[in-house]
């Protein structure tokens, strides 16, 4: 039934394996320096949250692995997501990550110092960070060496003195090693830090941030980020947000500094490294726009830049003001089989993105990135919305309407999505097509029911009222009922929570 163009955007067109041409010694490196130079922080579209003060990173003496303090108040090893019990951690709330990183593609070695500013939400004699692989050299809390130990992907830290409830504290972790991705045979594929011949491809949804920095790796804890990334001269380092200084080169190494000054979930953080060709400027509405492509995709650069700018501006008219300080896109030469909506810089893994998928990833900047989920079962709030945005884009372009899409899918009675209720994404099949397509159909059923004025007001109110925060499906249903003045229980029950094709709602 579903024609090629209806196939959901997560899956990229089956790209025939291309022989990897020898990396051309392009001007990309030099160009990178020239082009990125102008990419200074720019006016935000909205009041940005305050950036915490930078924290010193004094050299720490090696602290021996130690048994965590016995007794006392212990932060939970998970943040409380029923489907991912050890993801994230309890007992504190991260405010800011300062990541000082150095990576060499030749040795695949990463050296890092992560300085995390957080606030305790309970008394803490011990708390956990998430970190996968790598070696921890030292941990300091408030500048004083702290004991730490590791069990699986949990890094337990015992501060020299117990932290009080509500206390602000800083934890500095020095670590290093050869980072590797998470491979999930079930359905997620390869994600996290993926080394490429010229650098790295870094896409962390749902829980791969822990493959390259210690943190509270769950979307319920958002924070601002600073990145300082040192790479061999000629390699470009891209991260979220905007550059805060001109890249500085000395001794054959270049350091790039990036800042994401709006709260971000850990899975959207990236350090994409390699040879890139760049195009930088502003969208017609004045939002800084940066497109970056692996030289292999040189022909895609102009279109990626123009389309990303046009779509960012259009979504601003539909969903409300763009929530971040810059937009753009990255195409890297790693065939991930998917794209990811990395904050301010969606990444397309080894394919030339078409308008549909660019529309999808940029819609996520509102739905998923600015308004984030609190637990993974609500993932349709990201993917259903971004899929619906694909149909809105098609409608906007005078191609197929959302109504036509809805009819086509609804008439496909044997589709496996009818057996999978999208309102409760399954941990073993998080990115099921139902979460995308049936999630999108749910929004269309809602639009039919409440009419265009209420529906589009709801989308804008949802984005505005939960801007930079976290929200749940129950909150969306409550807002839909409030905005429309209708009882929508039956509709959401049928579309989101029933394992069969809805017939009345
Ligand atoms: N959120 C991404 C998108 O819809 C999909 C990420 C898939 N992640 C993965 N590990 N397979 O474009
Ligand atoms: Zn998506």
Report the separation in Å between the CA atom of 338 and the middle of ligand 2, taken as the mean of its atom positions: 9
- 139 falls within a domain: yes
Q: Which of 88-97, 178-187, 268-277, 280-289 has the lowest mean pLDDT?
A: 178-187
Q: Which of 233, 255, 275 is the last residue of a domain?
A: 275
Q: Which of 245, 275, 305 is the last residue of a domain?
A: 275
- 104 falls within a domain: yes
Pocket test residue of 189, 270, 338 for ligand 1, highest count of atoms within 8 A of CB: 338
The bridge status of strand 347-349 relative to strand 470-471 is unpaired
Instruction: Please give the number of the atom of ligand 1 that sits closest to the Cα of 431.
Output: 7
Has residue 30 got a pLDDT over 60? no
- 492 falls within a domain: yes
Has residue 12 got a pLDDT over 60? no
Report the separation in Å between the CA atom of 83 and the middle of ligand 2, taken as the mean of its atom positions: 20
Report the separation in Å between the CA atom of 222 and the middle of ligand 1, taken as the mean of its atom positions: 19
Are residues 248 and 143 located together in one domain of the fold? yes
CATH number of the domain enclosing 65: 2.60.40.1730
Closest to 292 measured CA to CA, from 326, 254, 246, 253? 326
Are residues 264 and 380 located together in one domain of the fold? no
Q: Which ligand is nearest to the CA of 348?
A: 1
* Nearest CA owner, ligand 1 atom 4: 10
Q: Which of 6-10, 88-92, 396-400, 430-434 has the lowest mean pLDDT?
A: 6-10
- 314 falls within a domain: no
Q: Which ligand is nearest to the CA of 347?
A: 1
Furthest-apart CA atoms within the chain: distance in Å: 69
- 412 falls within a domain: yes
Report the separation in Å between the CA atom of 388 and the middle of ligand 1, taken as the mean of its atom positions: 16
Backbone angles phi, psi at 205, to 5 degrees: -70, 130
Are residues 134 and 249 located together in one domain of the fold? yes
- 270 falls within a domain: yes
Q: Is the dihedral of CA 262, 320, 353, 415 positive or negative?
A: positive
Report the separation in Å between the CA atom of 347 and the middle of ligand 1, taken as the mean of its atom positions: 10
Report the separation in Å between the CA atom of 206 and the middle of ligand 2, taken as the mean of its atom positions: 12
Closest to 437 measured CA to CA, from 401, 390, 372? 390
Average pLDDT of span 68-93: 88
* Nearest CA owner, ligand 1 atom 6: 340
Are residues 263 and 376 located together in one domain of the fold? no
Are residues 256 and 392 located together in one domain of the fold? no
Report the separation in Å between the CA atom of 343 and the middle of ligand 2, taken as the mean of its atom positions: 12
Closest to 340 measured CA to CA, from 302, 309, 369? 369
Report the separation in Å between the CA atom of 158 and the middle of ligand 1, taken as the mean of its atom positions: 35
Has residue 101 got a pLDDT over 50? yes
392 Cβ neighbours under 8 A, 6+ residues apart: 318, 359, 402
Are residues 93 and 231 located together in one domain of the fold? yes
Average pLDDT of span 130-152: 98
Q: Which ligand is nearest to the CA of 192?
A: 1
CATH number of the domain enclosing 433: 1.10.390.10
Separation of alpha carbons 231 and 104, rounded Å: 6
Instruction: Please give the number of the atom of ligand 1 that sits closest to the Cα of 383.
Output: 4
User: How many CB atoms within 10 Å of residue 479?
Assistant: 16
Are residues 111 and 232 located together in one domain of the fold? yes
Helix (H) or strand (E) holding 174: strand 168-177
pLDDT, one tens digit per residue, over 293-340 is: 999 999 999 999 999 999 999 999 999 999 999 999 999 999 998 999
Q: Is the dihedral of CA 276, 279, 283, 288 positive or negative?
A: positive
Q: Which of 241, 260, 275 is the last residue of a domain?
A: 275
pTM for this one? 0.87
User: How many CB atoms within 10 Å of residue 465?
Assistant: 12
Residues with CB under 6 A from ligand 1: 10, 188-189, 191, 205, 338-341, 361, 383, 431
Confidence of residue 185 (pLDDT cuts 50, 70, 90): confident
Are residues 261 and 376 located together in one domain of the fold? no
Tokens of 307: 């389309």
Q: Which ligand is nearest to the CA of 219?
A: 1
pLDDT, one tens digit per residue, over 107-124 is: 999 999 999 999 999 999
Report the separation in Å between the CA atom of 433 and the middle of ligand 2, taken as the mean of its atom positions: 11
* Nearest CA owner, ligand 1 atom 10: 188
User: How many CB atoms within 10 Å of residue 43?
Assistant: 9
Instruction: Please give the number of the atom of ligand 1 that sits closest to the Cα of 436.
Output: 4
- 401 falls within a domain: yes
Pocket test residue of 182, 340, 428 for ligand 1, highest count of atoms within 8 A of CB: 340
**Mean pLDDT (the chain, rounded):** 88
- 188 falls within a domain: yes
What letter would DSSP give residue 500? Answer: S
Has residue 50 got a pLDDT over 60? no
* Nearest CA owner, ligand 1 atom 9: 188
Report the separation in Å between the CA atom of 10 and the middle of ligand 1, taken as the mean of its atom positions: 6
- Note down the domain range covering 80: 40-197+221-275
* Nearest CA owner, ligand 1 atom 5: 340
Separation of alpha carbons 442 and 480, rounded Å: 12
Tally the domains of the chain. 2
Q: Which ligand is nearest to the CA of 268?
A: 1
Has residue 45 got a pLDDT over 70? no
């Amino acid at each position: 039934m579903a024609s090629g163009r209806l196939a959901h955007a997560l899956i990229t067109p089956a790209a025939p394996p291309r022989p990897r041409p020898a990396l051309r010694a392009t001007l990309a490196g030099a160009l990178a320096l020239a082009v990125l130079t102008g990419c200074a922080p720019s006016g935000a579209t909205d009041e940005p949250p305050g950036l915490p003060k930078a924290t010193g990173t004094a050299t720490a003496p090696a602290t021996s692995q130690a048994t965590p303090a016995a007794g006392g108040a212990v932060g939970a090893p998970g943040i409380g997501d029923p489907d991912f019990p050890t993801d994230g951690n309890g007992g504190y709330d991260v405010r800011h990550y300062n990541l000082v990183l150095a990576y060499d593609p030749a040795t695949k070695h990463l050296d890092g110092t992560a300085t995390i500013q957080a606030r305790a939400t309970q008394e803490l004699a011990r708390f956990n960070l998430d970190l996968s692989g790598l070696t921890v050299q030292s941990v300091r809390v408030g500048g004083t060496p702290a004991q730490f130990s590791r069990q699986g992907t949990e890094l337990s830290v015992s501060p020299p003195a117990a932290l009080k409830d509500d206390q602000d504290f800083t934890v500095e972790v020095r670590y290093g090693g050869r980072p590797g991705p998470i491979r999930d045979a079930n359905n997620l594929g390869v994600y996290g830090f993926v080394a490429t011949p010229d650098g790295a491809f870094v896409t962390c949804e749902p829980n791969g941030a822990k493959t390259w920095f210690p943190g509270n790796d769950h979307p319920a804890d958002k924070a601002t980020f600073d990145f300082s990334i040192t790479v061999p001269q000629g390699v470009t380092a891209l991260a979220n947000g905007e550059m805060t200084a001109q890249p500085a080169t000395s001794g054959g190494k270049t350091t790039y500094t990036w800042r994401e000054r709006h709260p971000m979930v850990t899975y959207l953080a990236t350090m994409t490294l390699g040879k890139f060709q760049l195009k930088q400027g502003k969208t017609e509405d004045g939002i800084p726009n940066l497109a970056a492509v692996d030289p292999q995709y040189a022909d895609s650069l102009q279109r990626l830049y123009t389309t990303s700018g046009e779509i960012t501006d259009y979504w601003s008219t539909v969903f409300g003001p763009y929530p971040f300080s810059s937009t753009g896109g990255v195409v890297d030469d790693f065939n991930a089989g998917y794209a990811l909506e990395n904050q301010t810089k969606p990444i397309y893994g080894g394919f030339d993105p078409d308008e549909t998928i660019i529309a999808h990833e940029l819609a996520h900047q509102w739905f998923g990135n600015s308004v984030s989920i609190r637990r993974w079962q609500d993932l349709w709030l990201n993917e259903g919305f971004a899929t619906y945005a694909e149909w809105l884009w098609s409608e906007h372009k005078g191609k197929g309407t959302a109504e036509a899409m809805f009819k086509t899918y609804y008439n496909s009675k044997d589709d496996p999505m009818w057996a999978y209720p999208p309102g409760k994404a399954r941990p073993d099949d998080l990115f099921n097509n139902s979460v995308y397509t049936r999630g999108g159909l749910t929004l269309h059923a809602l639009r039919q029911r409440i009419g265009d004025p209420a529906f589009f007001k709801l989308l804008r109110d949802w984005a505005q009222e939960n801007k930079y925060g976290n929200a749940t499906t129950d909150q969306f249903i409550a807002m839909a009922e409030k905005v429309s003045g209708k009882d929508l229980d039956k509709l959401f029950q049928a579309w989101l929570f029933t394992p069969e094709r809805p017939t009345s709602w």
